[in-house]
Each structure stands twice: as C-alpha cells, then as structure tokens.
Amino acid sequence: MDELHHECGVAALYHLPPAGTRSPVWTGDPDQVSRLMPRMLLDLQNRGQLAAGMATFNPEREQLVDTYKEVGTVIEAFRINHPHKYASIMEEYAGRAAIGHTRYATCGGQSRSYAQPFERRHGCKWKWFAFAFNGQLTNFADLRDRLLKQHDYHLTRDNDTEVIMHYLAHEVRGDDRPDLVEVFRRLAAKFDGAYNLAFLNAMGEMVVARDPLGLRPLVYAHDGPMFGAASESVALQNLGFRNVRSLEPGHLVLIRDGELSVHKFADAPRMAHCFFEWVYFANVSSTLDDRSVYLSRSRLGQELARQERVLGRVPLDPEGTVVVPVPDTGKAAADAMAFALGVPSVEGLIRNRYIGRTFIEGANRADKVRLKFTPLREVLSGKRVLLVEDSIVRSTTLKSLLHHLRDQGGAREVHVRVACPPIVAPCFYGIDMSTVGELFAPKFMAGKVPTVAEQDAMAAELGADSLFYLPVDAVARCIDLPADRLCRACVTGDYPTPAGEEMYQLALRNHATGAGGRTYDRPPEPLVCSVNDDGRT
C-alpha cells in the first residue's frame, strides 16, 4: 500500500548435456531453452518492475555470452505484446543457458545502463561473464572506496552491482581457469549484506549462489537435463519443475563441464531469513525455505482475530461488520481473520489491474488511490469495516484510501488492522526504506512496542476509527521459524550484520541532524586500512 519496493528477482536456466532422460520442462531444441526465461521473469515481476533482462550462453554463436535488457516491465522490455519483435529477440538471444533479472532500484539510477544482467566482455572465455544480483551490499560504500583508492578503477554507475562486477573480475583475473567455488568463498569474506547471484561465463559455466545469512530466498530444481533456479518457487513450478528446493544459505550450485554440483562456499554465523518476504513481498503461491507464503499469511490473520477478541473494541456483528483486505497481499490474512471472528470477508476494494505504471506515477497521491482502487459502495455503505493491511511503512497513500472508503464507499467506520508489527527501523538488505524519517510509526512511539494510546494517535493521524498492529513475537509463530533464524531488523532495530548496525546508527544520526538523502547514498568517507603482520593491508 505504501508503494514499498523490493530489490529485484533473479532466475537461471540450463539444459545440461547430454540430453539423457527427457524433462516435462522442455522438450524442444536445447539451444532454444532461453525462450523460457521471459516466462520465468513474469512470475518474478512482483520483485521489480523498472527493468528486465537476460544473458544467454550459446557455443555456436560468435557472441558466446550475449545480454538483452530494457527498461520497463517484463512484457514491455521483451516486447511480448508485439509477436514479431518478441520472436526476433528470442531468436537473436537463443541459448542453452540463461540468467535473468527483474529490477527495482534501492540505489542507482533508473536508466537502461542500470538494468541487469551486467556483462563484462573479455578475450579470455573464463573472464567473459554476465551476472544478475538480488539484494543489497550493506558495505557497498566501503567496497567502492577500496576500489577507488587501492586500484586505478573508474566507476560509471553509483551502485553495488557495478562494484560486484569489478570484484568478480578481479577474482577471475589469473592465467589459469579459476575454481569458482573459491572465487565465491573469497567474495563472501568481503561482502556484507544480502546477495543472491546468478553467474554465467563464456565457458558455459554457471553459478547460482545464496548469501551466508539467507536474507533473500533462492530455490532450485534439477529435472532430467533441465536445471532451474529463481528467487521464488512459483517461477519454477509454473514451468513444470518438480522437487523444488531451497538453496541453503552460504551454498552455491555450480555447473561446470556439463556437470551439476552443490557446494558450501561460506560459513553461516546465523540464519537471517527476511520475515517481510512472507508478510508482503513474495508471491502468495510461493514456498520459501519450506514455509508456505499463503499459510503464513493465513496464520497472521488468525493472530489478528485473537487480538481482536482480546481487545473487544469493535462489535463483531455479522450484519454490520465486514472485513476488507487491501488488495492483494492482505487477502489471505483478511480471509483467515474473518473466518475466525465469524464475520464476512468481502472484497470491498477492487484493484484496477489495467492501469499502466507510468500513468499512475504521473498522478498525485489521492488520484493514485482513485486510479488503483474502486470501493464497492454496495457492500461497504453503512458498514463497520475492519480494513486489513499487510504493513504500514510510510502511510503516504493509506490516508487517501481511508478517505476514499468513507467518501466513495460510504463506510460508517474504518478500523485498520495491520498483519505486521510497526516498522521502526530502515532496511539495508534490499528493501526500499533506508531512512528513519520516512517511516510512519517512529514519529508516535517512545519505545519499540506501541502502546494503545500511541496506536490511537496513529489512527487519528490516518483518519481511522482505530488501529492495531500485530506484536513482534507473532511473526515467528506465523512463519513457523524460530525468531533467531529471522531478520526482523525493521521491527526491532537489531541487525544481523555489522555493516547493517553501522548503517542504522548512521541513519539515526542523519535523522537527528536533519540530513537528507538515502542512508546508503552517503558521500565517500576516508578509507581506514589496517596492516597485518605480513605487511598486507
């Protein structure tokens, strides 16, 4: 609802030689398997709408690795609505292996040059590679400064993806074909944050790697000669892959010389799966780390119902009270909440799915709400509405929506119920909220747990009759993972990595001093180098 955005989705496909047993995923020419990539990316569109692209490997082509990418949604970028143009792209970039990407930017610009995959061409085949990246390097500024100060480097883009490209290039620079497991082991020693990487080089080697904390989800499947990997399981399941599994944190899948193997490349000091994936970001059809997104959201709704009965502030009259989800991510929680309370769950807000992204971006806040949502007066008029929202981050459009429900929908009362704890701290691991000042809840809260009075003050600010959040301890119960295996930094202020904690302290200082800009857009700072006993810096 708050126009919150994720940092990208990645995908990979490979038709392994020899063909062996046939797979239901693909029965055509192995060199055309890349045609499946746009279909996969459509299922990852929820993770980024700014740009989309793919890089393919074809040993029969002069351009052994070639990359196509454009600004826009998957349909726009690949010209899917123009059959001849789409067919031409598929033919030019046909290959037996492909990596793909959908982009939303938490740092960097929005032009085509920032779209992924990134490709680095070289005359040596193992130094010629493309890669796609999902996440955010929390120590990006330090990595950038190290490049600029210790080497004769020039960066053309101010984002962590280009920094990763240079570090990858540095690790494969030798005269001998590199051990890619060792390459990623060395990178893990330098990187802090969330990073899922899909890598493809001109030798036909592929690596799909998940960071040691497992902050962002990554799944894979191997069916006959076909291998696939993606940020979410739905992208593989819809192609026909069976036995989709989560890649363990700190592990990678390596395809080399036509053989597939799984390797551990980094120790995991702890697990830190982002809880927000289940609450908001992931496709409701997906299963992440063996936990169903749909069932997790349903349990969030059951928790809301239990809280509602304890609070007892809203009469639960089936004739006068209805539960309404904010489409689409609030629906599973709303349905479960309504069932537990014995009141109707109704689609009182209908989302307009055919309004173009650019058209919406050109509107003001109130017009955006009117463009995106139509309240159904027939089911809302005179009703007491329990409005179920997945989260409140900035509240920038929620005020307009509440007014819209009363004015256009005729709702008598609107009580907001949030299937998530208050967002009290920024995210530095790939979600577009990097400053304290942009967050709604901290303006009202003296501590990290909101009191009833503080929630009443938030309701008054929003124009709601009441507002309640889920408590922090409900999150782990609903996802069915121990709290110490989740990253809950945005609702607790406790970060799983040193650079994350450092960025949070910087964000707090910036907020206190009124400094503008996103926290990770800080200017380069002097690099402090330590000298080891052997004289290396």
Q: Are 165 and 122 in contact (CB under 8 A)?
A: no
User: Has 107 been annotated as catalytic?
Assistant: no
Catalytic residue, from 8, 107, 427, 487: name it. 8
Q: Where are the alpha helices (DSSP H) in 312-376?
A: 331-341, 357-361, 365-372
φ/ψ region of 298 (left if φ > 0, alpha if ψ in -120 to 50, else beta) reads alpha
Residue 337 and residue 321: Cα distance in Å, rounded? 13
Question: Which of 383, 420, 392 has its CA nearest to residue 304?
Answer: 420
Cα→Cα distances 457→85, 310, 399, Å: 54, 20, 14
Q: Are strands 486-487 and 273-274 parallel, antiparallel or unpaired?
A: parallel
Name the strand (E) or helix (H) holding 377.
Answer: helix 377-380
User: Which pairs count as long-range contacts for 494-502, CB under 8 Å and 24+ apart, including other chains?
Assistant: 495/428, 496/213, 496/215, 496/270, 496/272, 497/138, 497/192, 497/193, 497/213, 497/272, 498/192, 499/138, 499/139, 499/142, 499/192, 499/193, 499/428, 500/138, 500/192, 500/193, 500/428, 500/429
What the block records as the tokens of 498 is 């040193």
Residue 139 and residue 130: Cα distance in Å, rounded? 22
The residues assigned a catalytic role are: 8
